[in-house]
Every structure is written in C-alpha cells, then in structure tokens.
Amino acid sequence: VSTQSNGPGELPEPSMSDHCSWHKLQVCWEGGKDVVQQGVETRILSPPWRMFLLGDGSPTRHLKLLSGEETVVEVIDMETVDADGEAPSIVSMIKPPLVRRQVWLKTASGKKLGYATSWWNADDCTDHLRDRSLPIWVSLTGRQTEIYRDIHAIMSGRNKHIEDGFEVQDSPLWGRYYLLWHDKQPLTLIYEVFSPALSQFLGPIHIDP
C-alpha cells in the first residue's frame, strides 16, 4: 500500500536534528510491495528512474555503468546494535546480534551518488564482508554467492545530512529498502538513498503530464 503526505514535488522541510544514529528519509511519499510489483506512474517517477529503483540489479554495479567510474565505498560507521527501532520493521527477519553498517557510495573521483545502511547478523557479516571497504555486490559476487533482491518499498523525502553529503538543496531524494536472500534465508536488510545528480545519466526524476 502506498502512503502519501505530500506530492513528490511538495517536500517537507528537512529535519535538522538527528533522531537516530543512522540517516533515514523524512518521507513525503512511499510505495510498498504493491507499487514495487505494479510500477509507479510517470508523473511520480520517470521510466529510467523506475528501472533504476525497482530493478533487481546491484546499485553499485549500476552506478559504475552510469558514471563510467569505479564505485568506491566510504564506510561511515559499523557497529553492533542490540535493536534498532528506527529501522524498517522487516529488520526483525535478520537474526540477532545485529551489525549495522553505514556507507557513502562514491565515484572514484569522489562524487557521492548514494547513501546506504545495512543490517546483518554478526556471523554473516564476518563471513560475507571479509573486506569491509568493498561494496556488498563485489564481496558477494567475488565469492560467487547467489542472492535474490526482495524490494519492499520505495520512497521520496528529505534528510539534511544526506542532502549535505550530496551537495543538493530543495530537491527530492529517492530511496528504497530491500532484503537480500541467500540459500532461502534473509542475509541482510539494505536501506539506500540516491543523489538527484543521477539525473545527469537517467534524465528527470518525474515527468509532468
């Protein structure tokens, strides 16, 4: 079920306070599993952006293909957490103890194109992220790990910290969250937000009728 408090172009003022120890969007529009399966109207999200956000491919791989540069991970924080009430509710599907990892996704030249937070079982994190400076996709494919990307929601909103990182103002930020499954078990929950600068490659985010 989709929820909406503002139109995609009617953004709330970004919160200056840090209500949690990771950075989530102050949502003005969100679409759940039904929207993920059926798609989004063009007035909300243009076809190239729909493919980027709703596709089941690796975002770090897509960023590399779009920008023509290697995708570099800047690890912001990585810590063991007992519980995370600010995380999407499906974090309960990841067996504790939990490790939460926050990163910027950047081009080799240093431009920030994405922000991501992921939650892992501590043992799975140790096993699958042996070099924690690498993108998740590189770590998993390097070990030929078969994964399934199960997208649960896409959303648009504001976050002052992420906007500052992307060096943008008064522009909608789009993101999504999903589970990665491996061997019929949820491996990690990932929450991603992408820079409006991707419009350089994907075109306008939405198309007015």
For residue range 127-175, list pLDDT tens digits in order: 877 776 666 766 666 565 677 889 999 999 999 999 999 999 878 899 9
Q: Which two tokens stand for residue 139?
A: 């770590």
Given a cut of 60, is residue 196 above it in pLDDT? Answer: yes
Q: How many helices (H) and strands (E) does the chain have?
A: 7, 8
- Identify the pLDDT of residue 31: 94
- Identify the pLDDT of residue 47: 92
Given a cut of 90, is residue 99 above it in pLDDT? Answer: yes
Q: Which two tokens stand for residue 150?
A: 């199960």
- Identify the pLDDT of residue 208: 66
Q: Which residues of 107-119 are buried (b: 16+ CB within 10 A; e: fewer)?
A: beeeebbbbbbbb
pTM: 0.86
Helix (H, G, I), strand (E, B) or coil at 134: coil
H-state helical runs in the chain: 33-38, 47-54, 59-67, 122-128, 136-142, 160-166, 199-202
Average pLDDT of the residues in 67-80: 92
